[in-house]
Structure 1
Amino acid sequence: MTRRRIALVLLVLVLVVTPVAGHVPSDPGDNDSPTFAVTVTDAAKSWSYYDEIDDGGAQYYRITVDEGERLKVSAFTPDDGPFTPSLVVMAPEIDGDDAPPGVSVPDGMGAVVVEGERPATPGYEPFAPSANYETAAFERASDGRTTYLVALYEPANRSGRAGVAIGYQESFTPAEYATVPFSLVDNRLWEGQPLALALGPFVLAVVGGVGVFARRRRHTSGKPVAESLLLGGGLLVLASGVNTLVQTGLTLAATGPTAGALVTAAYIVVPAICGGWAIRVAGRSQGRFDARTRVGLAVAGLAALVTWAGFLVGPVLLIAAAVAPARFLEASPTEWLADR
């Protein structure tokens, strides 16, 4: 496949991925009373809060909905079994007072209960492969600016991991987008995965790649800085694709085949192409890049960044190799450090 065709494939995959990037993952913190409720000021933006319910308690979220927007909230859990997260939606405009014991309703607010129902099989989350059971959902249009209080609880007072998804528009700030890879590791730990499984395939891919490259390239300390940048960046990016591949397999084993896996494939294929190509360039480069190679490295770094590959470091190394002056790239790491 020519470079032009590779670039076209990357462009198409990135364009497919970006609009379906999903919810902004968030940690709700200590929100076990209305006083300490999580404050959500942008009700339209998609958020995912990864929470827990303990000993018949409730977790609270305060959501302000502007005129013309709508409240959209749902509860989910990664746990199989009888544990069924449910919702209580409260607001001054709501007529009702049937909140269950353990859920606090502030004065002046009415409440409606959305009792959860556990589906037979979990749903598939494509942007970051995971299997979750959506148990309750509520949606309501707003005629004017309204502040809702939403409580997450379990009707039978069971304890377990429960999450809340809010909003309907996929939107990330640059900082939110850049930190998603780190949040995804936290999410997998929240789901109950051990760290060795959540991050192990990534680490093994990096270590294995370094070992293979070292055997083929002895005395790497004398090689140009360019090789170090490309090898480091390429392995980090490629390893992210390997990690996502393993997570996708685990998730599909729980959910069964689904079309959403086609979206996830972009998070595997793009890092594989970008990382693999950078490693290949590292194997033959002496730091002398023509303009086409530099453009290719910049595109690969940006594509890796968009698909959350390399934990920020990988894309930065590839972009650094694309823009660094030739004198820097052609030096050996020991020479460059000696000059400092």
Structure 2
Amino acid sequence: MELLSRHAPGVPRLVAPLGASAVLVFGVPASPLAQPWAVVVGNTASALVGIACVHLFGAVPELAAAIAVGGAIGLMFLLRCLHPPGGAAALLMVLSGVHDWHFALDTVLPNSVLLVAAGMLYNGVTGRRYPHPQVAAPTAATTRGGPAGEATAFSGTDLETVLAHYNQVLDIPRDDLQAIVDEAGLLAARRRMTTLRCADVMSREVKTVEWGTPLQEAWSLLRAHHIKALPVVDRARRVVGIVTLADFLRGAALDLHEDWATRLRQLIRPTPSTHSDKAEVVGQIMSRQVRVASADRPLADLVPMFAATGHHHIPIVGDEARLVGILTQSDLVAALARVDRL
């Protein structure tokens, strides 16, 4: 690259700060400090500041060097082209005593442009984006790529607001920062899910029935408490079955679509005689194959059960397999929402 530079007597032919620029362009091409605007304008503007300081304060090199570096940093902030080697470019102008304004334009500028071109070629061949667009974060909440498609607890606008208050330059593009924060949040949510146990989120006030509970009483419990299932327990509160709305409808022969409401009323109405040809108690219509889970079982283990097997209610048992609660889809959704807000 230096072959295109015009040699000035007494001026080093090599622009040493471009070596540092090359480290950024080839090593961290996603960095905002390594983007073409930062490299080209940062180096050139800083060199001009250094030359100006030679003209103004050349008699006192120490003062000229300090003002050159400080002025270059300020100008790069103003032009939004912060590039660390730019400070070195300004210092080089002072230390080398460069008076010729053209040195910034016919040496620093073209070599910076060639460095950017080489970086684009190299990074393109190695499969890395360069230039790396410094896109603004989206205003809507970003959706994570997790198995359940969880959404972040904050939006891109929130991130922009925090960065504005942070008031410092971050050596990372906005989109990469958003992706890192999203992924970290997803991992944290998964970790919290593994620490939650069924006992932490289950409903403890469980309405139950026994095998001999009349159907009318069980139906009244379902309607009065707006629930869809009742665990069936024995006298030791061990689960022996579960009765759901589906069990009642099946008992009323719902497959015969006509006048099913009348058949349902007939099902739950007690038969006054001692003999009956229909079900009279919960044990006659309940589902005997019931899935239960222990109170200390990780909540994450039950998510696939709800999602894939069609379960809506899972009785939770404690010591000696006694019923201590019930976990519903509503409990699970509420737990997931709380985890995402933490």
Compare CA radii of gyration and give the structure with the larger one.
2
* TM-score, normalised via structure 1 length: 0.21
Q: Structure 1 or 2: larger helix share?
A: 2
Higher strand share: 1
**Taking CA–CA contacts closer than 8 Å with sequence separation of 6 or more, which of the two structures ends up with the larger relative contact order?**
1
Q: TM-score, normalised by structure 2?
A: 0.21
